[in-house]
Structure 1
Amino acid sequence: MPVPQGVPKGESQCLQRVKMGFAIGFMVGMGSGFLFGGFSSFRAGLRGINLLTNTGKVMVQGGGTFGTFMAIGSAIRC
């Protein structure tokens, strides 16, 4: 049986879907973290480097959380 193209040797199709789900979820979470974290930091009165660091933290947290849930959802579907 031929191996489908695009799948590295030794890596299952399910693992590839889980990684893709995490990547997509991470990007969506980063986008929402940018919006929500930026607006909430701005409303709290943060400016300059404090605004950027707080927004960056919220972006990474949101990306990690949403990416994890998307990866779990992709694993369930396998």
Structure 2
Amino acid sequence: MPMPTGSFSHQGPTCFDRMKTGFIIGFCVGMASGALLGGFSALRYGLRGRELINNVGKVMVQGGGTFGTFMAIGTGIRC
């Protein structure tokens, strides 16, 4: 009886999958650092209430997108 060919050939994640994972990890790290740095700077400027939330949210998304992009590029270079 012949052995099945596809059941034992385990392949790792593709390069695109690794880049997606790198982007997600970088996005999370960038969001966390954006929350800390953006929160402290907004409080230092005297923002309160809705202005504080809008400013911190904007800094979090910008930091997450930037750091996630660089992590994806770095992971793509390593592939």
Percent of aligned pairs with the same residue? 66
Q: How many residues align?
A: 73
Distance in 2 between residues matched to 1:41 and 1:5, nearest whole Å: 47
Moved over 3 A (4+): 1-7
Task: Give the unaligned 5+ runs of structure 2.
Answer: none
Distance in 1 of aligned mates of 2:50 and 2:11: 46
Q: Note the aligned Cα RMSD (angstroms).
A: 1.7
Provide the TM-score with structure 2 as the length reference.
0.86
TM-score of the superposed pair, with normalisation by structure 1? 0.87
Instruction: Name 2:28's counterpart in structure 1.
Output: 27
Q: 5+ unaligned residues in a row in structure 1: which ranges?
A: 8-12
Aligned mates of 1:46, 1:69 — CA distance in 2: 30
Based on CA coordinates, which of the two structures has the bigger radius of gyration?
Answer: 2
**Helix, strand or coil at the partner of 1:45:** coil
